[in-house]
Amino acid sequence: MAVAELSPSYVNSRLSATQLPSLSAPVTNRRRLALQRRPRTALISCSVVPEQVKAPVAVPAEDSRGKPECFGVFCLTYDLKAEEETKTWKKLINVAVSGAAGMISNHLLFKIASGEVFGPDQPIALKLLGSQRSFEALEGVAMELEDSLYPLLREVNISIDPYEVFQGAEWALLIGAKPRGPGMERADLLDLNGQIFAEQGKALNAVASRNVKVIVVGNPCNTNALICLKNAPNIPAKNFHALTRLDENRAKCQLALKAGVFYDKVSNVTIWGNHSTTQVPDFLNAKIYGIPAKEVINDIKWLEEEFTEKVQKRGGELIKKWGRSSAASTAVSIADAIKSLVTPTPEGDWFSSGVYTDGNPYGIAEGIVFSMPCRSKGDGDYELVKDVIFDDFLRQRIAKSEAELLAEKRCVAHLTGEGIAVCDLPEDTMLPGEM
């Protein structure tokens, strides 16, 4: 067992793995850190074969001025380069999360840190964004992550500055948004949250990876994603997603219940349009046991009426039962959305995501973020599915959601750089539970 003793000054510095000396020989797969914080010193212990290390390795400090502050045990580092040489772990990735002190993040962050989302060989650096009011809670989140001893979690930074948190981010999960207060008009919510996502778009444009993947969760998520991407012109518009995966998961659940099957037998479910009550859960293209859902569920009235309403109002029903909005299932759907982009889509299947409509094959208006069926090769990118079928019923419903998103776009024109805002929203379609 090789042990390097550090002075207290090392504990408070943010250390870079790229500046550390490599060990003289490859490290075994079992290499892990056993870190202890003490009043005067901190220890780094490495489980390596003794003959592989000629002498204890001192960990140098780097100048951390102007950089985000790391948290606690994550200020201590290790020789990642040596571990990478074993080819057992991938290169460290930076995952930024806004609203990191909230209920959704409280479920999601531990899934990410455990390897459930990006894989069991993917080291993670978490960059957590909160507000001045939530900063102590954010510290509590970091403490829980610290105490969970996740081997893959190599770094945690916390800040209230998006320019610090988004520095070098390869994934940005934008969860934080203002809730809709009593008496607040939908147009006011669009403007209030739109300002948040305009600022975050600018920060991403300035400091994030040029190929960062962005998933917008904060509502109204479709239009917030549009505002964000319009303020980040140096990042491909295709890299921005609005979360409609929870709606897809809910639709799969309802089809499975009606058909009397387990939900893993349900596939090819699409949510079209906006994350609102104009969304269109598509039963026409859905399959059960690989057979069209309409042939398995021989109840057209239920499919056309009750099915859609159940999906749209599921969140409100949950609030009535539990007294609060969904957090755990939302976190699961964010994890599902990421996994759909980092693992190949099963042959013949697809998944739903709110994406930029430019170049879409469905005739949907360009320049908005609209939920559509996607496939991925597992490289973080996606392509729109071309082999879908439409009927008049489906097209009419899609058109209504399209009109709503175009109206929302006009309402936030001042935030997308497209002129003066004109709000002519036809009706209030916020989903139950999001008011």
Name 122's Cβ contacts closer than 8 Å, sequence gap at least 6: 89, 90, 93, 115, 152
Q: What is the pLDDT of residue 178?
A: 85
Q: What are the structure tokens assigned to 158, written together?
A: 């916390």
Residue 355 bridge partners (DSSP) = 370
Q: What is the pLDDT of residue 80?
A: 57
Q: Checking DSSP bridges between strand 213-216 and strand 240-242, what pairing results, if any? A: parallel
Q: Which of 389, 373, 400, 392 is nearest to 269 (CA)?
A: 373
End-to-end Cα separation, the chain, in angstroms: 56
Q: How far is it, in rounded angstroms, from Cα 398 to Cα 278?
A: 8
Name 324's Cβ contacts closer than 8 Å, sequence gap at least 6: 103
Q: Which domains does the chain have, with CATH numbers?
A: 90-242 (3.40.50.720), 244-412 (3.90.110.10)
Query: What is the strand order of the sheet 33-37 is part of?
Result: 2-6, 42-46, 33-37
Q: How far is it, in rounded angstroms, from Cα 251 to Cα 234?
A: 35
Q: What are the structure tokens assigned to 109, written together?
A: 């962050």
* Residue environment code for 179-207, b if the CB has 16+ CB neighbours within 10 A, otherwise e: ebeeeeebbebbbebbebbbbbbbbbbeb
* Chain centre to alpha carbon of residue 315: 19
Q: What is the pLDDT of residue 282?
A: 98
When computed from its CA atoms, the radius of gyration of the chain, rounded to whole angstroms, is: 23
Residue ranges of the chain whose pLDDT lies below 70: 1-68, 77-87, 181, 428, 430-435
Q: How far is it, in rounded angstroms, from Cα 309 to Cα 116?
A: 32
Residue type, 266: V
Q: What is the pLDDT of residue 268?
A: 98
Sign, CA dihedral 302-308-309-310, equals positive
Q: What is the pLDDT of residue 38?
A: 29
275 assigned to active site? yes
Catalytic-labelled residue, pool 107, 241, 275, 414: 275
Q: What is the pLDDT of residue 85?
A: 52
Q: What are the structure tokens assigned to 180, written together?
A: 């809709």
Which tens digits make up the pLDDT trace of 321-353? 888 888 999 999 999 999 999 999 999 999 999
Which tens digits make up the pLDDT trace of 151-179? 999 999 999 999 999 999 999 999 999 87
Q: How far is it, in rounded angstroms, from Cα 266 to Cα 289?
A: 7
